[in-house]
Structure 1
């Protein structure tokens, strides 16, 4: 019996979760952004990623339904049917063969279940449904085109720029994106130097600073995405020293205690039996300089605290190494009763920095004093 579903969550019960980013010994996953007709698809939890065959896999429901397709599930055959405008695709979990309008077609990757979501090969599905697909490796972005945007203006990352219903502080930014709400733009800035001449908004830096070019910003965003993949995904059953090493390598140079701090947190994850999952999605056009040595990248995030014994220090956040006990509670909201198994979402200004003078464009890394909660908005997800 075929059932048309609005979610793919029941597949988790049938197949279980694939090994994911909480396996610290694994290579940092390459998450991909998906932009359809100039608007970014903001996934609610599971993120698109690039597999071992260099193919982008996406959570099927969010992409297919955005394209106007119906997505279903056939339990008996473990098949995902996708249908739009007379085109029919049937993908079987774990196989690299599908039926397209009843004809067998092979491809070089597989539909899988990961973290309770069904992932399918983006290019194969999109092109069968009549869309064009391109890949920008510098920003790890897949572009899906289903219609001509005409003379609409887009930013360097292919996203539509809007000129109406602008945020109150629109002049602070080089442009305003159609897929970003005013709430994200109008969020207050973090604590900054008291002299306004020491502070800089992104519009100023994009216009006047030679470091602010796509080549450099893609490097910064890549580091921040990889950091987020480690930072917001930990599991006491799998975390080990390789997690700490990978995390510290993405942090700014010049802080000799960053590896020790990450190792201390990893030990605390084991002791407190912490399991956290989430993602960080930085916005390259929203960067702020506080005049105190930090560049903040405003980022959207989602996070879920699946398990812990003590409601304390649930994520690596402003760690101070070298102490005999945990002293890293400066910004972690330990007095906020996060519910287990509940998704929270919001925005945060993530600090980055460099100790390089002159042409520092490629050297910006995540601050060793990074915090998700230093300057943020958070709430339960819908």
Structure 2
């Protein structure tokens, strides 16, 4: 019997993306699977039900009918309680589970005896690049952050020379140079801004400069060793943070746009801009906090709100920037998922090898237990 794959409509507030597209429906069917999609799954990404049907998927209006007998369930966010209750025992759920923070969903999946994989835990190794949802979504988030900043900013980004005089280029400061930060730098440069960027990882200096931006950091001995083997930033000492804060304080005063992107896996986002930093900025300046969902890099940012401070600084705190470019975000995420599913289906048969280094790193629940050390500990 063919492997049954199901995708349901996203029900988490503000989630416009979807886990399958007509393109990936065809890819999944080519693996030897059947695909069932809940009606309305692609509406937020401008994908009508008819396009799924034309690609070979069965489209059903009822959630339980979609999930009935499904071997693999594909989601953007973790399933709701209603969806979890409809899973067959042993069903595989693949989603961005936010497993470190969303303990309730992890517990529900454990209780349902589901084998759940968190796509945010896919290791950043060469073999898994095509499955790296953090990179695919962060790339779009970095781009969209600049677009949001440009929308909120009351002036133009590029220098413009006119008969009536010259318009100065905006000054944009990007804090945190991962995938999102690099795309934010590239986008701000394309719009004509003068860009500076900072990160605690020394390897990012060359990347920043290659994009035509200026690198800003306290480059001491701690800075030289501030990166994990996996390429993530290490938590910095209070002494280093104080020196970096002093450098930041003298720099942000001059900036028109600040975009913060710093995240540390499994921890609250580090505070990069204090209330004092924000208070020192010029009226009309804009800050976009990409880490707001993890507690925020900016003191005073609020989840899913745009705040204007007493001194006239706008702080943008949208939590799901990729969802604001849903069609492209869904296309990339669905390709990540289809590649991940490809590890589990061999010759049309479900064959999940939990010793595979990618699956082993990403599995959170299995056999009625939490099996991911970082989540269970």
User: Which TM-score band applies after superposition, normalised by the shorter structure?
Assistant: under 0.3
**Higher RCO, 1 vs 2 (CA within 8 Å, ≥6 residues apart):** 2
The normalised TM-score by structure 2 is: 0.26
Q: Which has the higher helix share?
A: 2
TM-score, normalised to structure 1, is 0.26
